[in-house]
Amino acid sequence: MGNLDEGEEISKIFAVLLYSQGSYTYVDKLSQASSKDLALFYVREALRDYNSLLNSGKIDEDAQYLSNSINFSKAEEEINQLKSKSNTPDLREMVSYISSQALVKAAGLKSRAAYNLGRSVVNWLKSKGKFREDLSALSSEISSNAAEISKDLHVDIKEIETISDNRNLLQYLVKQSKETAGSQGV
Which tens digits make up the pLDDT trace of 90-135? Answer: 999 999 999 999 999 999 999 999 999 999 999 999 999 999 999 9
**For residues 31-36, average pLDDT:** 93
Cβ(131)–Cβ(122) below 8 Å: yes
Q: Is residue 119 part of a domain?
A: no
Amino acid in the structure at residue 110: K
**71 and 140 belong to one structural domain:** no
pLDDT band at 77 (very low <50, low <70, confident <90, very high): very high
**96 and 173 belong to one structural domain:** no
Work out the burial of residue 101: count CB atoms within 10 Å of its CB; fewer than 13 is exposed, 13-18 middle, 19 or more buried.
buried
pLDDT band at 6 (very low <50, low <70, confident <90, very high): confident
Map residue 17 onto helix, strand or coil: helix
Q: Is residue 160 part of a domain?
A: yes
Domain end point (choices 111, 140, 159): 111
The domain in which residue 136 lies consists of 128-183
Residue 1: is its pLDDT beyond 50? no
Residue 159: is its pLDDT beyond 50? yes
pLDDT band at 58 (very low <50, low <70, confident <90, very high): confident
pLDDT for residue 180: 83
pLDDT for residue 128: 96
**94 and 134 belong to one structural domain:** no
Q: Is residue 136 part of a domain?
A: yes
**95 and 158 belong to one structural domain:** no
Considering its fold, how many domains does the chain have in total? 2
**12 and 87 belong to one structural domain:** yes
pTM, two decimal places: 0.81
pLDDT for residue 26: 94
**71 and 136 belong to one structural domain:** no
